[in-house]
Amino acid sequence: MDLTPDAKRAFTVQSYAPQPRIEGVEIVDLQRHVDDGGSMTELARLTAGGLAAVPGFSVHQMNYSEVAPGAIKAFHLHARQTDVWFVPPSDRILCVLIDARAGSRTEGRRNRIVLGDGTSRLIRIPPGVAHGGRNLAATTGRIIYFTDLHFTPDPATCDEGRLPWDFAGAAIWDLTRG
């Protein structure tokens, strides 16, 4: 097939290969047990505060967050805290991660991962990795997350810092078109 000169210049082949992960980010597939009455997913098996699926991570707090349809909640990062996120399979959240750690092997790398959307998995987000979510669904999205530090709103001891939602450019939140 012969394309017009304009089409030849614009033509690309979309890559479906997995993107290289940010150092320290882990994705853990969870088993979802389904029957004709519904489903059950084990989020965490704890041993002395440790999450069996995420070795080296000790749970100190569990949180529940709601995200309005179309809303973007970003970017935030922690100096010491690790987050482990879970989005229910019935929801659909675009999670964007940016390695903001100076000198890391993956410094500046960006990852976009759709959470929920029929899957059950955990994502570990280490300190220094900026993260946020955009609700891609028409209903309220939910994030259940575990942290290894207790939250405090006190500015003197709070471990949560913010970057602008468009820190990586507004287009990072756009749906992939093609």
Q: Where are the domains of the chain?
A: 25-168
The number of residues making up the chain comes to 178
**pLDDT at 82 (0 to 100):** 96
β-pair type (50-51, 83-86) = unpaired
Comparing C-alpha atoms, which of 65, 54, 58, 46 is closest to residue 24? Answer: 54
Q: Give the amino acid at 115.
A: L
What is the mean pLDDT of the segment spanning 91-102?
A: 96
State which fold the 25-168 domain adopts.
Jelly Rolls (2.60.120)
- pLDDT digits 0-9 by tens, 123-151: 999 999 999 999 999 999 999 999 999 88
- pLDDT digits 0-9 by tens, 1-52: 777 788 888 877 777 788 889 999 999 888 888 888 777 888 888 888 788 8
d(CA 91, CA 143): 9
Contact 158, 152 (CB under 8 A): yes
Q: Is the dihedral of CA 25, 174, 130, 92 positive or negative?
A: negative
d(CA 58, CA 51): 6
What is the mean pLDDT of the segment spanning 114-123?
A: 95
Q: Write down the pTM of the prediction.
A: 0.86
Q: pLDDT averaged over the chain?
A: 90
**pLDDT at 135 (0 to 100):** 97
What is the mean pLDDT of the segment spanning 59-78?
A: 93
Does residue 162 have a pLDDT over 80? yes
